[in-house]
Structure 1
Amino acid sequence: METWTVYLLKCSNNSVYVGCTSNLEQRIKEHNSGKVKSTQYRIPVSVTTKITFNDKYKAYNFEKYLKTGSGRAFLNKRLL
């Protein structure tokens, strides 16, 4: 069964990036090599938090939530 990971990255400018993937190791390599537009000017990045889901849609919905105002508040209070 494929698992999906919602991850938080700490970027070089101290910002936080939220993403979702089924292959975290490969995705981090893409971030650090500048292939991801959202983080290409904020490398290097490092994983601060990762949460694994068995359901793709639950993972993407949680990622979407973390990008909302209340999700950011939850992220700052509970996950960082």
Structure 2
Amino acid sequence: MEFVVYILYSEKFDKTYVGFTTSLIERFKSHNELATKGFMIKFRPWKVVYLEFYNSKTEALNREKWLKTGNGRIFIKNLKSNNFF
């Protein structure tokens, strides 16, 4: 099974979101269409701006957690400032 760590971006609100999943398309649809409450619905529409693929859940979870740390936020900010998204 493959695990995907992803970064979503709401251009309208200049917000990012980090998550991981085994089914990116279904998860993305949930974030943009299906969810009826929570953080995600407030900042729609989202677009996928960054992906990383892992073979283990542990690796993906560790990377997701790192991206949510101060250093991870700097990494994301650098992606944005380099016009990656």
Contact map agreement 1:10 1:45 (CA 8 A) in 2: yes
Are residue 30 (structure 1) and residue 60 (structure 2) matched?
no
> Post-superposition shift, 1:34?
4.9
Q: What runs of 5+ residues in structure 2 fail to find an aligned partner? A: none
Contact map agreement 1:8 1:19 (CA 8 A) in 2: yes
Contact map agreement 1:18 1:63 (CA 8 A) in 2: yes
Whichever structure has more helix as a proportion of its residues is: 2
Q: What runs of 5+ residues in structure 1 fail to find an aligned partner? A: none
In structure 2, give the amino acid aligned to 1:9.
Answer: L
Post-superposition CA distance 1:22-63 (Å, at most 9, x none): 100000000001516221111110000111101111001000
Runs of 4+ residues deviating >3 angstroms: none
Identical-pair percentage: 34
SS at match of 1:63: helix
The equivalent residue for 2:44 is 43
> Post-superposition shift, 1:76?
1.8
The equivalent residue for 1:10 is 9
TM-score by length of 1: 0.89
Give the Cα separation in 2 of the matches to 1:3 and 1:13.
31
**Alignment RMSD, CA only?**
1.6
Give the Cα separation in 1 of the matches to 2:64 and 2:75.
12
How many correspondences in the alignment?
79
Greater mean deviation of Cα atoms: 28-37 or 61-70: 28-37
SS at match of 1:13: coil
> Post-superposition shift, 1:71?
1.1
